Amino acid sequence: MDQATAPAANVSLLTRRFRGYLPVVVDVETGGFDWNRHALLEIAAVPLDVDEHGALVLGEATSAHVVPAPGTDIDPQSLEVTGIDIDHPFRFAKPEREALDHVFAGVRAAVRKHGCQRAILVGHNAHFDLNFLNAAVARTGHKRNPFHPFSVFDTVTLAGVAYGQTVLARAVQAAGFGWSSEDAHSALYDAQQTARLFCTIVNAWPSPQRA
């Protein structure tokens, strides 16, 4: 394939594959389970890309540690699970609006690169991540959220169909990848592993354009 035409062909393929929506894998770490009450503590986004063979691959990730928004709560048990130290001097957390700006800028750049209309969130129990994301958008009054407000791709369902596994660690291993319990519950690590899982499942399914 001529190098001058390869990027355009890949853009067209990815745009058509998901009806103009760019899949972007998102993971959040939070101060609890109630998106209306508990704090957003970490967020990571991994836009998907296409290789020279037309297969989905991971794009450039963006992530941020987040300063708990005023008025939000943190359940100490959640911190025990995630291992997040809110007061760690090297956490380099950003205020919630700044963190959203940082992550959304990378997502919008990927949407433009592929000629898509909007991003669609991919996640493991995806509505959990989307609800926390939407709550942060509402708190900050953010007007440039690139994500579809309610539609998602959920890897719990996809992995259940493909591998009979719904727990992320087991599904990732069933897909042929390693899993580090020490790195788990980092938003960036979980997002990248979820992205590998999603790409593996989708790449194994015949594309409507190539079938």
Name the CA dihedral angle for 183, 204, 57, 9, rounded to a multiple of 10 degrees.
-170
Residue whose entry in the numeric block shows the structure tokens 């035409």 = 5
- Residue 73 phi, psi dihedral angles, 5° rounding: -110, 160
57-62: Cβ within 8 A, 24+ apart:
57/199, 58/192, 58/195, 58/196, 58/199, 59/110, 60/106, 60/110, 61/106, 61/188, 61/191, 61/192, 62/102, 62/103, 62/105, 62/106, 62/107
* CB 207 within 8 Å of CB 17: yes
SS3 179: coil
Query: Of the listed 102, 142, 148, 185, which one is catalytic?
Result: 185
In 80-145, the DSSP E strands lie at 118-123
Q: Is 185 a catalytic residue?
A: yes
Q: Which residues are catalytic?
A: 185
